[in-house]
């Protein structure tokens, strides 16, 4: 009558897919990346704020076109230059988690451990940034 003893039917959840970009949108983002990379080459190594910001922008754009490995490299450079917990930090954590899940699906224990370690490093950065108040 009320369904207390009936098993609940669990519907399959749809996997959340990121919207796909048109070839024109991908091309435009790739042009933006090339422009930013040119700007990075002109920035002095002493201007760490600007350098970190540009690397973060490149990494975020690469993540947008699903160039995950390149995005990770750029976002890691950004955080290495200047630790922050902004959009780049959030995206990098998301990419690490995505890679960890991918490793889990493939049964790659080393990959799981690697990305779990990377996520732990990111948590430490967040802790340090929060304590330092910067």
Kindly report, residue by residue over 77-128, the tens digit of the pLDDT: 999 999 999 999 999 999 999 999 999 999 999 999 999 999 999 999 999 9
Examine residue 16 and state whether it is found in any structural domain, yes or no: no
**C-alpha span between 132 and 61 (Å, rounded):** 29
Crossing angle of helices 87-105 and 68-81, in 10° steps, is 140
Residue 46's pLDDT band, with cuts at 50, 70 and 90, is confident
Examine residue 9 and state whether it is found in any structural domain, yes or no: no
Number of domains in the chain: 1
The pTM assigned to this predicted structure is 0.81
Examine residue 112 and state whether it is found in any structural domain, yes or no: yes
Examine residue 18 and state whether it is found in any structural domain, yes or no: no
**C-alpha span between 83 and 133 (Å, rounded):** 11
- Residue 83: give the domain boundaries: 23-132
Examine residue 102 and state whether it is found in any structural domain, yes or no: yes
CATH number of the domain bearing residue 88: 1.25.40
């Amino acid at each position: 009558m009320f369904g207390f003893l009936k098993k609940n039917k669990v519907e399959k959840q749809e996997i959340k897919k990121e919207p796909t970009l048109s070839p024109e949108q991908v091309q435009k983002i790739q042009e933006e990346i090339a422009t930013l990379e040119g700007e990075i080459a002109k920035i002095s190594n002493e201007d760490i704020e600007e350098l970190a910001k540009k690397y973060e922008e490149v990494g975020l754009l690469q993540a947008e076109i699903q160039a995950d490995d390149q995005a990770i490299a750029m976002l890691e450079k950004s955080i290495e230059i200047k630790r922050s917990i902004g959009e780049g930090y959030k995206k990098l954590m998301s990419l690490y988690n995505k890679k960890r899940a991918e490793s889990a699906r493939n049964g790659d224990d080393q990959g799981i451990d690697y990305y779990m370690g990377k996520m732990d490093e990111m948590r430490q950065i967040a802790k340090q940034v929060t304590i330092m108040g910067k």
